[in-house]
């Protein structure tokens, strides 16, 4: 019985520590990710998609000449998103699909891959590179472009 109070104290202490950590990653997320737009809903993307999106945002911040998130802030933001991200379904265990969601839902809703033919996707992909450049959003590099384009062609309206 003498150990009982000790247990309560240590439980209380670890709960407090946990609460503090959660509050601060929430704060950093809110602070950093509502600087340029409305705070995104953490449950709108899977964690692998968030990881790609954070890198794009870091790139956008640098293009704008502002200071990017420090490594510590980035870790906090990722920790916050990891806890709240949407669960991945099996069809999404595909890197092309992740890059597609990460890069093609920044300015509008996710396009449905089967709404266009492969030929039309090829034209849209080139047009979207231009739209990204105009908006100050980094363009897809060659590898990302290939990944997204093949994913779309695979799922296209044949």
Q: In the complex, which residues of this chain contact ligand HEC (CB under 6 A)? A: 32-33, 35-37, 40, 53-54, 57, 60-61, 64, 66, 77, 103-104, 106-108, 111, 124-125, 127-128, 131-132, 135, 137, 148
Which residue, 12 or 39, has its beta carbon nearer to ligand HEC?
39
- Residue 76, CA distances (Å) to 23, 29, 137 in order: 10, 7, 24
What minimum distance in Å lies between the beta carbon of 6 and ligand HEC?
41
Q: Are 137 and 106 in contact (CB under 8 A)?
A: yes
Minimum CB–partner distance for residue 9 and ligand HEC (Å): 37
d(CA 79, CA 139): 27
CA–CA distance, 61 with 136 (Å, rounded to integer):
10
Residue (20 or 55) nearer to ligand HEC, CB: 55
């Amino acid at each position: 019985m003498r150990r009982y109070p000790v247990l309560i104290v240590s439980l209380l202490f670890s709960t407090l520590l946990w609460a503090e950590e959660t509050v601060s990653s929430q704060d950093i997320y809110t602070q950093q990710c509502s600087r340029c737009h409305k705070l995104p809903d953490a449950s709108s993307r899977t964690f692998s998609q968030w990881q790609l999106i954070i890198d794009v945002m870091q790139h956008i911040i640098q293009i704008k000449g502002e200071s990017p998130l420090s490594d510590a802030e980035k870790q906090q933001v990722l920790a916050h998103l990891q806890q709240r991200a949407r669960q991945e379904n099996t069809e999404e265990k595909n890197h092309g699909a992740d890059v597609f969601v990460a890069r093609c839902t920044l300015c509008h809703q996710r396009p449905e891959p089967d709404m266009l033919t492969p030929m039309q996707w090829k034209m849209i992909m080139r047009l979207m590179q231009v739209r990204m450049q105009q908006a100050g959003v980094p363009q897809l590099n060659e590898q990302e472009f290939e990944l997204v384009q093949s994913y779309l062609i695979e799922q296209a309206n044949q």
